[in-house]
Amino acid sequence: MIAKAYEEGYSKELTLLIKNGIIVKRYNYIDKDICKIYECLDLSKTGLLLPGFIDIHVHLRGLELSYKEDEESGTKAAIHGGFTAVIDMPNTIPRIDNMYALKLKLEALKKRSYVDFGLYVSPARNEEELEQMLLEEGVIGVKIFPQDLNQIGKVVKTMKKVSNRIKKIIIVHAENPLMLEDCEAGRRWVCRPIESEVSVLNKLKMFADREIHIHITHVTNILTLSLAKHYGFTVDTCPHYIYMDADYEKDMKCIAKVNPPLRLYTTRTILSDHLNLFDAISSDHAPHSLDEKNRDFSDCPPGITSLDIMGSLVLNMVSKNLIKLGDVVKLVSRGPANILGIHRWGCLYEGCIASYTIVDLDKEVYVDPQYFFSKAKFTPYKSIRLRGAVKATIVRGFLAYIEESIVEKINPLPITLFQRDDVCL
């Protein structure tokens, strides 16, 4: 592969020899003669090559919720958005809290995904089954939704049993269900207050342990961020907490309804000024049918769709001077890889996994959801312009997507394979 790559703050021309998805040789210059010897992918004029983006929080739906999204449509949206791997959530039907449902979901991901994948599970009915689920290839860890908080002790106990064998994560939706009520559009920040997030963190601090990795997802404010980092947890936020506030919820109603809710303008402004303190940015891509989103506000399901434009949403933060290009690499590639325990992802040396995202920092993207690969053809970002485009997505050396077209369906692999340096792909 020939490319102009971003590395350690500089743009460099490189030639990379890739075998079985791994870099086996690197040249610090462009050598087009090598294309006479090997099958050659010349991307030097396409854009700037970055380490492959990873989204650690998506809802691909599937199974009995395939009318909303499925593993194929959701992962096509992922490569459109520049993502080389995604980690799926377990709140499907059936819920992924037992071995039978887990096997169904993993099989669907293996057959239909266009990117490498992982999966969180929900707490199982007993510790033995949860332990069995955690040892399945592809399972990243356990997702704790608000209704699962009373099971955190059981989950931590089980997690400690497997932590000496392989890295697993407890990823937490930090809202205390005892502090949540319903409110009209534009006022949900009152009925789902910041205090509900802080309350969960204060409960989790007793489980802070070097053996257990607790990650707090879709954080909405600087107080939750600061307290989570103080307790030693890793933390992510989502673009909608940076681009939108409660006024958007008031105007757009269900299209901008999400949990945790959009907060005040001042809250999002302060959060935007501290993005470099986060360990990752995730999409929390949560598709529903348009009929569901057209229900009355009190009855419509929460969730924002953004996976198709996620890369541009993050790149646009560079043009808005919220972050630097190096922060993009940290927040959507290296940071997620570190959280997942993958140390060879998207680097540019021999032995690195050759998954990359190629971007054009200056190209403007007009958001038109009718061109989404996702089944959810609506978004609160409709008709805005974003500076920064995903030009191509490379998954383990294969060109999966380029210039608005899907090129090739790779043979997707469970991302847990990459946690072990001794595994040959």
List, by residue number, the catalytic residues.
284
Phi then psi for residue 389, to 5 deg, are -125, 145
Distance CA 166, CA 173 (A): 23
Three-class SS state of 366: strand
Enter the tokens of residue 169. 């994560």
Question: Collapsing DSSP states into helix, strand and coil, what is residue 142?
Answer: strand
The 8-class DSSP code of residue 12 comes to E
Q: Could you tell me how many residues make up the chain?
A: 425
Q: Which amino acid is at 414?
A: P
- Exposed (0-12), middle (13-18) or buried (19+): which is 135, by Cβ within 10 Å? middle
H helices of 135-293, where?
Answer: 152-162, 188-191, 194-204, 222-230, 240-243, 246-252, 265-272, 290-293
Contact 97, 145 (CB under 8 A): no
3-class DSSP state for residue 208?
Answer: coil
Write down the residue that tokens 């809290």 correspond to: 97
Rounded CA separation 109/20 (Å): 21
Token output for 97: 């809290």
Is the separation of the CB atoms in 199 and 176 below 8 Å?
yes
How far is the C-alpha of 130 from the C-alpha of 122, rounded, in Å? 8
